[in-house]
Amino acid sequence: MWFDIGADLFPLTAALLASVSCALLGNFLVLRRLSLMGDAISHSVLPGLVVAFLIASTRSPIVMLVGAGIAGVATVVLVEAVKRFGRVEPGAAMGVVFSVLFALGVLLMEQASSRNIDLDAGTVLYGQLQLLVWWDADRARTFAELWSMGTVQAVPRQVWLLFAVCVAAFVFVTVLFKELRISAFDPALATTQGVHAGAMHYMLMIFVAIATVAAFEAVGSILVIAMLICPAATARLLTDHLRAQIVWSVAIAVCSSVGGYFGASVVPGWFGIGAVNPAGAITVASGVMLTLALLGSPTHGVVSRVLRRRSLARRVAIDDLLGSLFREEERGVDQVSVRTLVPLFVNRPLSAAIRKSAAQRLIEREAGALCLTERGRSAAREIVRRHRLWERYLVDSAGLAPDHVHEAAEQLEHLGISPERGPSTDPHGRSIP
């Protein structure tokens, strides 16, 4: 059976709750261009956790959250201090702070281990998802059996903690959505509108720190780092609207959690190896989804950008071809040899432009010569009209010399707009159609 209620329900639930809460908060880190801040906080809360544990001698969620919250706020303050007084760019400031604090946390953890204190570095990095099983997993085979057997106390405390953090993150984002949005896009405008951008920044960082520490024991810091950024970055590639981005990020977090969790035991078998860590597999799944969005996004994807550039290049080539034929007609040449056009189309797809223009019945081709159809002549007249209007505008309004405006007007003519008509001739004395 691919899904075992007793063994898989709570590990998968913990992964889903951690991923969703991180995805909700990560959207605003991406918008603020503070993606590295999520990485910085997830690393730098480590000394806060260790110090809190050493002081209180307990792994109580409240103690851990307090330690992580203090460390998270300290990280933000230190990053701002390094950026301001060290006069370095934000990425360098975050890199310095989280590297130093993470190293300090590792040293403190090693000291704790040498004193036989139960605080394991592997748990912090990779989590213990596989250990979050039902107390009587061998007897629980259906949801009905699980419900009849269970008690609230039997649910792993990590799941309850992650559930509380997920609900808190949802309420935080929902209630303060307007304030978070305006302070993310324009902190100065937010301040003028009565929204304290600095306070929103620190509140967001505190929630990121809380989400990080809540997920440490269950899923580890590696998954937290990935889920703070990957779903939000993937969603950002798919839409330009913030509400839609948040919805997409949650959906991506859910898909990568489910796919990665079950893929951790299924996919390695295809290659003849044993199951891998679920948290690591979920991280890989989120990275795969980010890669797919990077390649296939309809608006920002690599493939779509390449296709748009090729389409634009073909359209520009067709415009230039029609414009060249129209100018030849103005000089009394009705048919133009393809060979005479080749020097004008260096590094541009002349053959494709001829084929496309002929397919659209803009030109006719006979014995290696080209001529405009009535439809093509009308389109060419509009292209030449825009070109000469732009030349006139650049000379009269921008103050450019007449012999310096051709290349600029050649680029502007493809925009599909033109200035208001003025004189009937361009700066070179040619009539404007």
What b/e string do you get for 401-414 counting C-beta neighbours within 10 Å, with b at 16 or more? eeeebeeebbebbe
What b/e string do you get for 193-222 counting C-beta neighbours within 10 Å, with b at 16 or more? eebebeebbbbbbbbbbbbbbbbbbbbbbb
How are beta strands 336-337 and 369-372 bridged, if at all? antiparallel
Selected from 1.10.1660.10, 1.10.10.10, 1.10.10.1200, 3.30.950.10, the CATH number assigned to the domain covering 305-415 reads: 1.10.10.10
What is the spatial distance between Cα 315 and Cα 297, in angstroms, rounded to a whole number?
Answer: 23
Which pLDDT score is estimated for 131? 63
The percent of residues above 70 in pLDDT, for the chain, comes to 85
Which pLDDT score is estimated for 162? 87
Which pLDDT score is estimated for 1? 46
Q: pTM of the entire structure? A: 0.76
| Strand-pair partners of 364 | 371
386 against 146, higher pLDDT: 386
Cβ neighbours of residue 39 closer than 8 Å, sequence gap 6 or more:
94, 98, 225, 228, 229
Which pLDDT score is estimated for 245? 93
Greatest mean pLDDT among 5-19, 40-54, 89-103, 395-409 lies in 395-409
**Do the beta carbons of residue 25 and residue 42 sit within 8 Å?**
no
One-letter amino acid at 382 equals: E
pLDDT digits (tens, 9 = 90+) for 87-108: 777 778 878 887 888 788 778 7
Any idea where the domains of the chain sit in the sequence?
Answer: 5-231, 305-415
What is the spatial distance between Cα 174 and Cα 193, in angstroms, rounded to a whole number?
Answer: 19
